[in-house]
Amino acid sequence: MREAVIVDVVRTPSGRGKPGGALSGVHPVDLAAGVLTGLLERNGLESRQIDDVLMGCVSQIGDQAMNIGRQAVLAAGFDESVPATTIDRQCGSSQQAAHFAAQGVIAGAYDIVIAGGVESMSRVPLGSSRQGGSLAPGLAARYPEGLVNQGVSAELIADKWHLSREELDSFSAESHRRAADAWTHGRFDSQVLPVLAPGSSDAVAFDETVRPGTTAEGLAGLNPAFRTDELAARFPGLDWRITAGSSSPLTDAASAVLIMSAEKAAELGLEPRARFHSFSVVGDDPLFMLTGPIPATRRILERSGLSIDDLDAYEVNEAFASVPLAWAAELGADPAKLNPWGGAIALGHAVGASGTRLLGTLVAYLEASGGRYGLQTMCEGGGMANATIIERL
């Protein structure tokens, strides 16, 4: 069977996803084009060699409408013969893009493919693609009390797994500490491509979302972010402990991974950094919504023949602190291996781009630590999750 290998992974820095954020002046098409161009330049490839580009993006409206993957390919100066498509599996969109790309290589449909993602949450606010829409009668009939936003789901998870406010704040502060330490030691230098914003003479080269001085004591002073009187009446047992500090910030970013067959990499003289070992994708309870990484991990471990102890690192997306904490409790995971260079609470969660951002972090960490196997998993809107196991080469 053909092997799908990872040759390179790049990303932009994370900008605050609000007007005035470091990357808010950059059109998302250009953000995505930058990582595409970067992959070609770093690996000495011509665009004609790329069989397809698969781009994740969640809010496909406004600046991100009309197949942003194809627009990015053209904006990057790729040959017009290179096709592209845009994928929406909510927060896991670019992880799913990487799955489709690798599976296409394994099946023989591709020799070289780029998977990536982009989201400009400053220019296209999260949820804007839903504006004017209504809940389908069939869905409303199935869930007559209605579903909830992800913040409420994070609260339900914190309550079910008995995660205290102190645990959530401590985990969140540690995410910032680990991310700041990783930046200090140059851990992200090999993958981050500086971005020159319009009207600026200095390129954005660091994650704007990381706050090195964050402490659990400081986070303890924040108010709950998702409580309303209506929701409090619906869920009287919740004590509302999720804050902005234990949530991933709105983020602008793009990321991309260069995937090819092992044979093609050898032919081109490119050294693979890792190979795709196993995949899974699951659906889960859409009310709790963010618990999908638990069954996704169980499924991928069963398929791979590996145990949680065989894994040297796990990147579990920190949409909210309660998500990886509940996952770790259920899987019996080692906290030291969980997001060792920080997670989305510090590094940002540009939803369409987060999947390949996590993948790049995982590859780089395995290389730096000498680890062999790494797991990546992330919760997704609507109650889904992807999981990926890679093996460092």
What values do phi and psi take at 217, rounded to 5? -65, -40
List the structure tokens of 120: 């400009």
Nearest CA-CA partner of 240 in 250, 249, 229:
229
Is 57 among the catalytic positions? no
- Which residue type sits at 278? S
Q: What is the distance, to the nearest Å, from the Cα of residue 365 to the centroid of all Cα atoms in its chain?
A: 16
| Residues 6+ positions from 187 with CB-CB distance below 8 Å | 341, 364, 365, 368
Give the separation between CA 57 and CA 118, rounded to whole angstroms.
Answer: 6
Is 349 among the catalytic positions? yes
Is 277 among the catalytic positions? no
Catalytic residue among 57, 91, 99, 277: 91
Give the separation between CA 374 and CA 339, rounded to whole angstroms.
Answer: 11
The CA distances from residue 70 to 81, 83, 106, 296, in Å, are: 11, 7, 23, 30
Cite the active site residues: 91, 349, 379
